[in-house]
Amino acid sequence: MTSLDNALARLWTADDDADMLQQDGRWVCWGQVRRLAERIDRELGAAGCGRGGRVAVVLSNRMESVATLIALFRAERILVTVSPLQPPHRLSADLATTGASYVLAPTSFGRRTHSAKPSPNWARSAGVLTATRLSCGLRRAASHAMVTQRSQSRC
Protein backbone atom coordinates (compact mmCIF):
# COMPACT_ATOMS: atom_id res chain seq x y z
CA MET A 1 0.00 0.00 0.00
CA THR A 2 1.28 3.45 -0.91
CA SER A 3 1.49 6.06 1.83
CA LEU A 4 -0.13 9.45 1.37
CA ASP A 5 3.33 11.07 1.41
CA ASN A 6 4.49 8.80 -1.42
CA ALA A 7 1.32 9.38 -3.42
CA LEU A 8 1.66 13.16 -3.11
CA ALA A 9 5.36 13.00 -4.07
CA ARG A 10 4.44 11.01 -7.18
CA LEU A 11 1.68 13.47 -7.99
CA TRP A 12 4.29 16.25 -8.14
CA THR A 13 5.98 14.40 -11.01
CA ALA A 14 2.79 14.27 -13.10
CA ASP A 15 2.56 16.18 -16.38
CA ASP A 16 1.33 19.73 -15.72
CA ASP A 17 -0.94 19.51 -18.78
CA ALA A 18 -2.72 16.35 -17.58
CA ASP A 19 -6.44 16.81 -16.95
CA MET A 20 -7.15 16.47 -13.23
CA LEU A 21 -10.72 17.50 -12.54
CA GLN A 22 -13.72 18.99 -14.24
CA GLN A 23 -15.36 22.17 -12.99
CA ASP A 24 -18.13 24.20 -14.58
CA GLY A 25 -17.97 22.03 -17.71
CA ARG A 26 -14.25 22.51 -18.34
CA TRP A 27 -11.19 20.49 -17.44
CA VAL A 28 -8.65 21.86 -14.98
CA CYS A 29 -5.12 20.59 -15.53
CA TRP A 30 -2.81 19.30 -12.82
CA GLY A 31 -0.43 22.25 -13.29
CA GLN A 32 -3.14 24.73 -12.27
CA VAL A 33 -4.02 22.70 -9.17
CA ARG A 34 -0.34 22.20 -8.25
CA ARG A 35 0.49 25.91 -8.60
CA LEU A 36 -2.48 26.85 -6.44
CA ALA A 37 -1.59 24.22 -3.82
CA GLU A 38 1.97 25.57 -3.72
CA ARG A 39 0.71 29.12 -3.36
CA ILE A 40 -1.66 28.18 -0.54
CA ASP A 41 1.23 26.39 1.18
CA ARG A 42 3.49 29.46 0.84
CA GLU A 43 0.81 31.82 2.14
CA LEU A 44 0.03 29.64 5.15
CA GLY A 45 3.74 29.24 5.86
CA ALA A 46 4.29 33.00 5.63
CA ALA A 47 1.40 33.48 8.06
CA GLY A 48 3.13 31.17 10.54
CA CYS A 49 1.15 27.99 9.93
CA GLY A 50 3.64 25.14 9.78
CA ARG A 51 3.61 21.38 10.23
CA GLY A 52 0.88 20.39 12.69
CA GLY A 53 -0.91 23.73 12.30
CA ARG A 54 -4.68 23.45 12.58
CA VAL A 55 -6.49 24.87 9.54
CA ALA A 56 -10.27 25.03 9.38
CA VAL A 57 -11.49 24.61 5.80
CA VAL A 58 -14.93 25.42 4.46
CA LEU A 59 -15.00 22.96 1.56
CA SER A 60 -16.88 23.60 -1.65
CA ASN A 61 -17.19 21.74 -4.94
CA ARG A 62 -14.40 23.75 -6.51
CA MET A 63 -10.84 23.22 -7.68
CA GLU A 64 -9.67 25.48 -4.85
CA SER A 65 -10.85 22.92 -2.29
CA VAL A 66 -8.85 20.15 -3.98
CA ALA A 67 -5.74 22.36 -4.04
CA THR A 68 -6.29 23.24 -0.39
CA LEU A 69 -6.50 19.59 0.69
CA ILE A 70 -3.35 18.75 -1.26
CA ALA A 71 -1.50 21.73 0.26
CA LEU A 72 -2.53 20.81 3.81
CA PHE A 73 -1.73 17.10 3.56
CA ARG A 74 1.56 17.68 1.77
CA ALA A 75 2.77 20.06 4.52
CA GLU A 76 1.42 17.79 7.29
CA ARG A 77 -1.00 20.39 8.60
CA ILE A 78 -4.15 19.37 10.44
CA LEU A 79 -7.41 19.63 8.48
CA VAL A 80 -10.54 20.72 10.36
CA THR A 81 -13.63 20.74 8.14
CA VAL A 82 -16.40 23.28 8.62
CA SER A 83 -19.80 22.99 6.96
CA PRO A 84 -20.72 25.83 4.61
CA LEU A 85 -24.39 24.95 5.09
CA GLN A 86 -24.53 26.47 8.58
CA PRO A 87 -26.05 29.93 9.07
CA PRO A 88 -23.43 32.66 9.69
CA HIS A 89 -23.82 32.79 13.48
CA ARG A 90 -23.43 29.01 13.72
CA LEU A 91 -20.37 29.06 11.44
CA SER A 92 -18.76 31.65 13.72
CA ALA A 93 -19.50 29.51 16.78
CA ASP A 94 -18.16 26.39 15.07
CA LEU A 95 -14.98 28.20 14.04
CA ALA A 96 -14.42 29.49 17.56
CA THR A 97 -14.53 25.93 18.94
CA THR A 98 -12.32 24.24 16.34
CA GLY A 99 -9.02 25.27 17.87
CA ALA A 100 -7.86 26.19 14.38
CA SER A 101 -5.62 29.21 14.06
CA TYR A 102 -6.37 29.63 10.35
CA VAL A 103 -9.44 29.39 8.13
CA LEU A 104 -9.55 28.73 4.39
CA ALA A 105 -12.90 29.39 2.76
CA PRO A 106 -14.48 30.64 -0.45
CA THR A 107 -14.73 34.44 -0.49
CA SER A 108 -18.52 34.08 -0.35
CA PHE A 109 -18.04 32.59 3.13
CA GLY A 110 -16.22 35.75 4.20
CA ARG A 111 -19.09 37.88 2.94
CA ARG A 112 -21.59 35.68 4.81
CA THR A 113 -19.74 35.81 8.12
CA HIS A 114 -19.11 39.55 7.81
CA SER A 115 -22.83 40.19 7.40
CA ALA A 116 -23.59 38.28 10.59
CA LYS A 117 -23.23 39.38 14.18
CA PRO A 118 -19.55 38.85 15.04
CA SER A 119 -18.43 36.18 17.40
CA PRO A 120 -16.27 37.67 20.17
CA ASN A 121 -13.59 35.04 19.51
CA TRP A 122 -13.02 35.81 15.84
CA ALA A 123 -11.44 38.91 14.40
CA ARG A 124 -13.33 40.72 11.68
CA SER A 125 -12.02 43.31 9.30
CA ALA A 126 -13.32 45.00 6.19
CA GLY A 127 -9.79 45.11 4.80
CA VAL A 128 -8.22 42.33 2.80
CA LEU A 129 -4.51 41.76 3.40
CA THR A 130 -2.00 39.15 2.40
CA ALA A 131 -1.87 36.14 4.70
CA THR A 132 0.75 37.35 7.16
CA ARG A 133 0.93 37.76 10.90
CA LEU A 134 0.66 41.54 10.67
CA SER A 135 -2.72 41.60 12.38
CA CYS A 136 -5.82 39.55 13.03
CA GLY A 137 -8.63 39.65 10.52
CA LEU A 138 -9.74 38.62 7.11
CA ARG A 139 -6.90 37.94 4.69
CA ARG A 140 -6.66 36.77 1.09
CA ALA A 141 -4.60 33.57 0.86
CA ALA A 142 -3.91 34.06 -2.82
CA SER A 143 -5.44 35.70 -5.87
CA HIS A 144 -7.99 32.90 -6.11
CA ALA A 145 -11.29 32.68 -4.28
CA MET A 146 -9.95 31.66 -0.89
CA VAL A 147 -9.46 33.65 2.30
CA THR A 148 -7.72 33.01 5.57
CA GLN A 149 -8.74 34.30 8.95
CA ARG A 150 -6.73 34.16 12.14
CA SER A 151 -8.33 33.57 15.53
CA GLN A 152 -8.11 36.58 17.84
CA SER A 153 -7.34 34.34 20.78
CA ARG A 154 -4.17 33.11 19.05
CA CYS A 155 -2.69 36.49 18.04
pLDDT in tens, 132-155: 222 233 333 333 334 444 443 332
Q: 10-residue block means of pLDDT along the chain (155 residues)?
A: 83 93 93 94 90 89 91 95 82 82 74 45 29 31 38 35
Quickly count: other Cβ atoms within 10 Å of residue 77's Cβ.
22
Q: Where are the domains of the chain?
A: 4-154
Using alpha carbons, select from 66, 109, 108, 79 the residue that is nearest to residue 91.
109
CATH code for the structural domain at 4-154: 3.40.50.980
Rounded to two decimals, the pTM is 0.71
Q: How far is CA 82 from CA 39, 41, 59, 87, 150, in A?
A: 22, 19, 7, 12, 15
